[in-house]
Chains A and B, each alone.
Chain A
């Protein structure tokens, strides 16, 4: 537990860039939502997220911890975005999940502390125009760069009520910042580059409750409910807005037809409509409720060493809460695969996930992304 506390303290010193991936669908609203999943859960489309000890979705999951584990994951995103104004390719690297979890010795409790992405608002928009200066047409190139987003710092405690029923409670601090740089450069170098910078910082609190119940020897159900209160937004040091955050819930089922094979499916919904009025009042396009369905399979090669070289496959479909244009709610579809290796008698390991994502708002804004997620875990 001491290690867990130390790791927890280290989380506070972790870089603020605990976000998901840049996207043109992260330009509006609070950004593109990030799923608080481990590489294992990502590889199964997110379907195993409610049952996964190393994901930050279900606060009941730490109840099943039998040893201390820590996880650090890194995601490399390769993206091609297309919209009516052109196409561009991009790539970025993020750290979507840092987590420590372990049992509380001599009790039926387990605890986890984690830092996950909540929304990501990394993007750079470039536009070209011509304006008249001193009576002469001058080409201008405008760039709006945004870096940052919201992170979810979670402290979760799980209780093994019975061997079949696990319950959990999570406390969430939603923090982060959004560093914005607006630049205008001119084709005539006699003009200096115009630029402005500002930083938006965020703070919100949330609470979550979760449960998992083995209803049959091979069938487990899980669920989670979360409410996030509201988000205070400061520009530089001045409070400029408050935005209500959504309540959300997820339910899932895991079926293990054999020791080697596990199947899971999940459904989650997030009532982002709660943010709609506030976002509109701040000049945004608005927010829509979002949902997600996922299904996945995990095939173990060695049930005695389940983390070593399994096969994981999955897919998901989700709607995105923040439209780029009014009335055009974007959606996302993804397929994924992954595996893992364990070494030094399972004390260390890497988990890999490869995702192919398609996003679209159905009216010209499309995006294709390939995301490679690598997680490094230690179980001392």
Chain B
């Protein structure tokens, strides 16, 4: 039996050895086949088939507040209206009790800033409660100009993201008082300033927890000391009662020979490619890059880690401006927009082009948009050359492999 076990152990040891069948070689000298052929090609967008469309998002759908000062991307101002709030009493243990207000806080969620801009300050201007998303930049700017800031929030140079807050205590509480006709509603216009041209993005949107918060804090006369401090808060509750406006809208007077994305009117551009059949049918895509050449410098918020980006989606069917985008998250590709440059924007299209190769796959058409379109837009309003431009037409740079079918004896 001892021999049996020894033998079995040896069999197991022999069988358990890991395989390595590598040998050095030099193809095609030693290979029974050729290496995969790799080719590079540039495919220009189908002439005349690309165009820009606007109006893919309403102002009321915006969930951010943009404010800027002196940026080449344009001037941006934000506004918001807090709804009516009862500040003189509060319900404690089912009983309405008088609230002795000692503090009021107006806070915002800082989502993006120029990290090199020092001494950043957010200014709060009292504006009429009638402001809404129908407002133009000039009219809001006029309202703000008529109302010097009633307070400001100094944003620490080290703060990149998080809560910024204006506190009103003691005699400063009167700054919040408004005309009786406002019925407790409170409207604010926002401007910003720093040591250099800059901008910020604040959380917005009605009812969102990232949106602006108006909070009243005070004391109630109850015996339970744990319940003596109370607070009550509101956020803007109407979609048209907060938003931002800018003085730069490239959709106004847009050229039909350029491609626009983003901006106040949520521009998108559609681009079509005619890829040779043999590439789609017989090759393996190794790298696919969409190259868009800016027609003007890409100006946004500098030094912003969460900078402006472009998104490219395939479409399920080519229906022009109303082409339904492909739904799968993996088929949305992104590319950073180079702040302050005119260098070509490059977007990795590997996953999309692979879809185009599938039998019955989607058409080789892409929709290009600003990544922040669902939020309400970004600082940057990129404009790119189209196929009608003399240079810098949209192009797809493909690197693909062709099979060699190895296996010769």
Q: Which residues of A contact B (CB under 8 A)?
A: 22-24, 27-30, 74, 76, 81-93, 122-127, 129, 131, 133-134, 140, 142, 144-147, 178, 180, 182-184, 186, 190-196, 198, 200, 235, 243, 279, 282-284, 322, 324-325, 341, 343-344, 348, 350, 352, 372, 374, 376
**In the docked arrangement, what's the CA distance between A122 and B409, Å?**
13
Contacting B40 at CB < 8 Å: which of A29, A81, A129, A134?
A134
Is there an interface contact between B15 and A89, defined as CB atoms closer than 8 Å? no
* Cβ-based interface call for B7 (8 A): yes
Given A74-B14, A182-B404, A376-B7: A127 and B26 within 8 A (CB)?
A: yes
Residue of B nearest to A365 (CB): B30
**In the docked arrangement, what's the CA distance between A348 and B4, Å?**
9
Given A180-B33, A282-B408, A283-B408: A144 and B24 within 8 A (CB)?
A: no
Given A198-B405, A343-B4: A125 and B14 within 8 A (CB)?
A: no
B371-409 CB contact bits vs A (8 Å, 1 = yes)? Answer: 000000000000000000000000001010101111111
**In the docked arrangement, what's the CA distance between A180 and B18, Å?**
20
* Cβ-based interface call for B181 (8 A): no
Is there an interface contact between B287 and A194, defined as CB atoms closer than 8 Å? no
Q: List residues of chain B with CB within 8 A of the CB of A124.
A: 21-23
CB distance from A359 to the nearest CB of B (A): 12
* Cβ-based interface call for B156 (8 A): no
Q: Is the interface of A mostly helix, strand, loop or mixed?
A: strand
Is there an interface contact between A93 and B15, defined as CB atoms closer than 8 Å? yes
Is there an interface contact between B409 and A279, defined as CB atoms closer than 8 Å? yes
CB distance from B86 to the nearest CB of A (A): 60
Contacting A90 at CB < 8 Å: which of B7, B21, B286, B399?
B21
Q: Which residues of B contact A (CB under 8 A)?
A: 1, 3-4, 7, 10-11, 14-15, 17-27, 29-33, 35-36, 38, 40, 284-287, 348, 350, 397, 399, 401, 403-409
Is there an interface contact between B17 and A194, defined as CB atoms closer than 8 Å? no
Given A144-B32, A190-B348: A85 and B24 within 8 A (CB)?
A: yes
Q: List residues of chain B with CB within 8 A of the CB of A133.
A: 38, 40, 399
**In the docked arrangement, what's the CA distance between A200 and B399, Å?**
29
CB distance from B288 to the nearest CB of A (A): 9
Given A90-B22, A133-B40: A284 and B32 within 8 A (CB)?
A: yes
Q: Give 14 A-B pairs besides A89-B20, A182-B406 with Cβ atoms closer than 8 angstroms.
A: A28-B30, A83-B30, A85-B26, A90-B20, A125-B24, A127-B35, A144-B32, A144-B406, A191-B399, A194-B38, A196-B406, A198-B406, A348-B4, A352-B10
Q: List residues of chain A with CB within 8 A of the CB of B38.
A: 131, 133, 140, 184, 194
**In the docked arrangement, what's the CA distance between A348 and B11, Å?**
14
**In the docked arrangement, what's the CA distance between A319 and B24, Å?**
22
- Nearest 10 A/B pairs, CB to CB: A194-B401, A125-B25, A86-B24, A284-B409, A283-B408, A350-B7, A22-B21, A24-B23, A196-B403, A76-B14
Residue of B nearest to A199 (CB): B407
**In the docked arrangement, what's the CA distance between A82 and B285, Å?**
35
Residue of B nearest to A81 (CB): B23
Contacting B285 at CB < 8 Å: which of A81, A86, A184, A192?
A192
Q: List residues of chain B with CB within 8 A of the CB of A195.
A: 36, 284
Q: List residues of chain B with CB within 8 A of the CB of A23.
A: 23
Is there an interface contact between B11 and A376, defined as CB atoms closer than 8 Å? yes
Q: List residues of chain B with CB within 8 A of the CB of A325.
A: 29
**In the docked arrangement, what's the CA distance between A279 and B407, Å?**
11
Provide a sorted-by-A list of 9 A–B residue pairs whose CB atoms are within 8 angstroms.
Answer: A27-B25, A28-B32, A83-B25, A142-B36, A147-B21, A186-B286, A192-B350, A282-B408, A376-B7
**In the docked arrangement, what's the CA distance between A372 and B15, Å?**
11
Is there an interface contact between B284 and A194, defined as CB atoms closer than 8 Å? yes
Q: List residues of chain A with CB within 8 A of the CB of B4.
A: 343-344, 348
Contacting B27 at CB < 8 Å: which of A127, A145, A322?
A127
Is there an interface contact between A76 and B409, defined as CB atoms closer than 8 Å? no
Most buried by A among B3, B25, B32, B409: B409
Is there an interface contact between A196 and B408, defined as CB atoms closer than 8 Å? no
